[in-house]
Structure 1
Amino acid sequence: MSPRPRSKGNKGLPQNLYLDSRRGTYRYRRPTDGKWFQFGSDRLKAIDAAKQLNLVFMQGADLVASVMQNGTSAQADLFEAFLDVYEKEILPPRELAKGTLDLYAVRFRQFRKAFTGKGIDQITIRMVAELLDSLTPRAANQARALLIDIFNHAAAKGLCPDNPAASTMPKIEKKQRKRHTIDGLRAIREKSPLWLKNAIDLALITAQRRTDILDMKFEDVRDGYLYVVQQKTAKASDAAWIRFKVTPELQEVISHCRDNVPSPYLIHRRPERKKQKQAEQKEHWTKIEERYLTRAFKDARDAAGCYGGWSDEEQPGFHEIRALSLHLYKKAGKDGQKIAGHASEEMTKNYQRDHAEVVWSDAIPDLDISEICR
């Protein structure tokens, strides 16, 4: 006989835990004799305690389940095993950007280390909370969102009764990084190798993200335009397709990107010989990885010493060039919305047509960056 459906007030609570709506407190009903125990008003503590008690009282049920599995290995219900399934079967159809997958890979390593040898139905709120508390607020919120999705899929397959990650609280992220100054970015650029100078100039003139800057190719420049498909928003926004008019300002930057290195990418470099094997595993041996760009920019910033009075957390990175670019466009009285790729009404046609006929958002990158790039 199946158990009665839980009332609205008790939905989302583990078995045997109930909310006393009149008092706003929780109470636990011991399944062996029906005796009640008051658990107070702290929801997270009550859920955590109830789950731990349920594991003890349901040990017999675990033995029955092991027999009903007809000899299949209990390893199938381990968190690590389900995480493999999540990576191989659930993520691929989403067609996530490489940068997102790289970030997920970092989180997956943290998850495997924290929950090694644990059954997916044995992971408690406290276990998840301890993992999140060990991370920075931004990393914790990223990990929490990913864990919520993982446990949602596991619960949908009947592998766990509820979602322990969803019961944790998100962290408050305080933005610590400051914005670039014109003098600061100029000093960084002077300490940068040629390819990084080109990347800085391209970021200033187009206000694009790191991923999109590194993905720009010479073949994307045609018919007087530079065509860019923003990786972060291509599947989630209607403003991901931008057509930059090749203005004299943009043409000058593109021309500086051409050199004697045979590369399809505007931003490229010839790797050191000792890393040639690693380079061959990339899309192209001259392509620059996002992490390498971040490190190179940091090295140039440290060498410039332009933000000496700021803490490490306040030091602006390559990404903050985008903010400076949009600020300068606004200061010059120009339209920064289309430059940035922010949503516009006309671009809804891309979704109405299912991208069969892509409608490009025109942008005019005509910012005078000579003050920084002189």
Structure 2
Amino acid sequence: MRPRNPANRALPVNLYKNGRYYQYRHPQTGRYHGMGTDRAAAIRAAHQLNAQLIEPISLTERVLGTKRQAPSTEPTLLFSDWLDTYATLLDERGLSSLSRYNRQRQVERIRAALGALDLSTITTRRIAEFLDAQTPRQANAYRSVLNDCFNEAIAKGHITTNPVTVTKNKRVATQRQRLTLEDFQRIHAASPIHLQNALDLGLITLQRREDLVSLSWSDLRDGVLELQQHKTGTRLRITVTKPLARVLDTCRSNLDSPWIIHYRRGSPHTRAGDPIAKQQLSSMFRAVRDSLGLYAELPIRQRPSFHEIRSLGARLYEARGMDPQTLLGHKSRQMTEVYLDSRREEWLVASPAVDILENFRESFDKPS
């Protein structure tokens, strides 16, 4: 018999603790019943229920075999207990802090819905019901976690089949409009200098907001811009080619700021030279976009955001015959946003040799 989880070891048989709450597992039906948060009351009730529901067997009957001993009521492995083990396995993968936080939240949501079940009794139907209760995007993310979770359980020998495998990803409708090159130019021309710098650097390096605002001049070493992406943990060395050097030159100021992207002027809430928060990049981008009346016919959630610059730059590189995957920080075209890489300690090397800004550089100097 598998030893009980430490949290349940001192409890009567059939009584389990799940978070702050206690649950009693009916020895005949296998169903769980809530017993509240009062430990003493739950223990008393469990003893009373066991006395009524578990048929006693004498020692003589056990020896002579005249009456079959009742089967053990201990579950093979509670899913909640397995999720504890799975969380430990995730910690060993060396996920980035953001990925680890998101995965922990997903695991806890799964635990709340399915944790009281035996791991070996979870069916595809139960998985499908859980996924159907989510939005399409959330369902696909949870499906990915569950699929990985059950595969790990198979690898450890707890189960032999994965109930998630035959479920399907839900179709997620693309909501946000792509940013066009023409509209990028218009937004750029109407933006303050610090936002222009962020737009230029984002377009040529293809990095996310949080990576752009974290860049400092100390990351520039021997003609290489080094960074570690916050979302994936991917380490990237970007060669400072002439096109990128021109962008970096425009980012320099006489403020002696350590940050490549920084405020050029102070305000009631910021000082000149301060770094720009990623949320501020988004809000400034939205303000300029909306002031120009761009995409006004679309609902707000469908209008292109600052993040769409990443897609625009990738499309421009591809149109010029350069594969943008390395600059994006991906190691393959099949990589997803929840990509987990056990070899992320190695550096990826990228060289933005194609000047994707040359065709509209003159427009940057035009007033709005």
TM-score interval (norm. to shorter): 0.5 to 0.7
Matched with 1:11 is none
Query: Distance in 1 between the 2:328 and 2:120 partners?
Result: 44
Q: Which amino acid aligns with 1:199?
A: A
Matched with 1:84 is 84
Q: CA deviation at 1:144?
A: 0.4
Query: Distance in 2 between the 1:158 and 1:170 partners?
Result: 26
Aligned residues: 286
Matched with 1:3 is none
Secondary structure, counterpart of 1:327 in structure 2: helix
Query: Distance in 1 between the 2:194 and 2:182 partners?
Result: 20
Query: Distance in 2 between the 1:341 and 1:356 partners?
Result: 13
Does structure 1 residue 138 correspond to structure 2 residue 105?
no
The alpha-carbon distance between structure 1 residues 317 and 160, as it changes in their structure 2 partners (threshold 3 A), is farther
Does structure 1 residue 217 correspond to structure 2 residue 216?
yes
- The alignment-based identity, stated in percent, is 31
2:242 pairs with 239, 242, 247, which one?
A: 247
Question: Could you tell me the TM-score, scaled by structure 1's length?
Answer: 0.58
The alpha-carbon distance between structure 1 residues 148 and 358, as it changes in their structure 2 partners (threshold 3 A), is closer
The alpha-carbon distance between structure 1 residues 107 and 316, as it changes in their structure 2 partners (threshold 3 A), is farther
Does structure 1 residue 370 correspond to structure 2 residue 361?
yes
Q: Which amino acid aligns with 1:335?
A: M
Secondary structure, counterpart of 2:201 in structure 1: helix
Q: Does the aligned pair in 2 maintain the 1:226–1:243 contact within 8 Å?
A: yes
Cα deviation code 1:71-106 (max 9, x no counterpart): xxx7x944344333322x211222223342343244
Query: Distance in 2 between the 1:322 and 1:158 partners?
Result: 43
Q: Does the aligned pair in 1 maintain the 2:219–2:225 contact within 8 Å?
A: yes
2:349 pairs with 360, 363, 368, which one?
A: 360
The alpha-carbon distance between structure 1 residues 210 and 98, as it changes in their structure 2 partners (threshold 3 A), is farther
* Contiguous gaps of at least 5 residues in structure 2: 1-27, 33-53, 55-68, 333-342
Matched with 2:304 is 316
Query: Distance in 1 between the 2:284 and 2:70 partners?
Result: 53
Matched with 1:266 is 260
Q: CA deviation at 1:64?
A: 0.5
Query: Distance in 2 between the 1:262 and 1:98 partners?
Result: 27
* RMSD of Structure 2 on Structure 1 (CA): 4.6
Matched with 2:166 is 167
Query: Distance in 2 between the 1:323 and 1:249 partners?
Result: 18
Q: CA deviation at 1:156?
A: 3.7
Query: Distance in 1 between the 2:219 and 2:73 partners?
Result: 58
Q: CA deviation at 1:148?
A: 0.8
Query: Distance in 1 between the 2:246 and 2:195 partners?
Result: 17
Secondary structure, counterpart of 1:91 in structure 2: helix
- Which of the two has higher C-alpha Rg? 2
Cα deviation code 1:312-338 (max 9, x no counterpart): 55332333212212333455x463546
Cα deviation code 1:266-303 (max 9, x no counterpart): 34679x999xxxxxxxxxx96846x7755665566556
Q: Does the aligned pair in 2 maintain the 1:213–1:267 contact within 8 Å?
A: yes
Query: Distance in 1 between the 2:241 and 2:70 partners?
Result: 66
Query: Distance in 1 between the 2:329 and 2:261 partners?
Result: 20
Query: Distance in 2 between the 1:223 and 1:300 partners?
Result: 36
